[in-house]
């Protein structure tokens, strides 16, 4: 899966190369510690279910997604956290390593505007031991994402 994500990144003209980590980066805190960066510079890929369809929210590792706020942004009654099986079905990847790209089909994506504060952000690359550096603008471009305020703050 990591090789596929790297190829998708290359095909999209992304500038960062996948980095393989000795330690797990399943959580934003783990990733930040391993990489030596602020937790806010980790782009956590969270999959939610909206009326049977996936929605990907790339949020700053320093935030929790406000599901009511995001449901309002999407104009839907409810946003539910996806099950592990739902995540794997729609992304081909396991929770803790979901990349923002490389899924079987394009997933509607919201990108936390807070990530724009960091000159470099890190995202998972399809496995809990693989990440890649990118920028906020590049994340928007490679995911065809929409900038959004997704946190409760």
What is the pTM for the complete model shown?
0.92
pLDDT at 136 over 70: yes
Q: Where are the domains of the chain?
A: 2-148
Give 79-145 as a DSSP string. Answer: -EEPPHHHHHHHHSS-TTS--SS--SS--EEEEEGGGGGSSSEEEEEEETTEEEEE-HHHHHHHHT-
pLDDT at 82 over 80: yes
Whether the pLDDT of residue 103 is over 90: the answer is yes
In terms of CATH architecture, what is 2-148? Alpha-Beta Complex (3.90)
pLDDT digits (tens, 9 = 90+) for 12-36: 999 899 999 887 777 888 888 888 9
In this prediction, what percent of the chain has a pLDDT beyond 70? Answer: 99
């Amino acid at each position: 899966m990591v090789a596929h994500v790297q190829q998708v990144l290359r095909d999209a003209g992304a500038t960062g190369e996948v980095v393989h980590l000795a330690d797990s980066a399943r959580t934003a805190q783990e990733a930040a510690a391993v990489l030596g960066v602020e937790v806010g510079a980790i782009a956590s890929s969270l999959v939610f279910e909206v009326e049977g369809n996936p929605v990907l929210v790339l949020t700053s590792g320093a935030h929790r997604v406000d599901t009511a706020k995001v449901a309002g942004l999407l104009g839907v009654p409810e946003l539910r956290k996806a099950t592990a099986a739902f995540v794997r079905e729609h992304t081909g990847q396991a929770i803790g390593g979901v990349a923002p790209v490389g899924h079987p089909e394009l997933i509607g994506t919201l990108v936390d505007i807070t990530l724009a504060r960091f000159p470099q952000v890190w995202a998972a690359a399809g496995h809990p031991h693989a990440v890649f550096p990118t920028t906020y603008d590049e994340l928007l471009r490679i995911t065809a994402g929409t900038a959004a305020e997704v946190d409760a703050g």
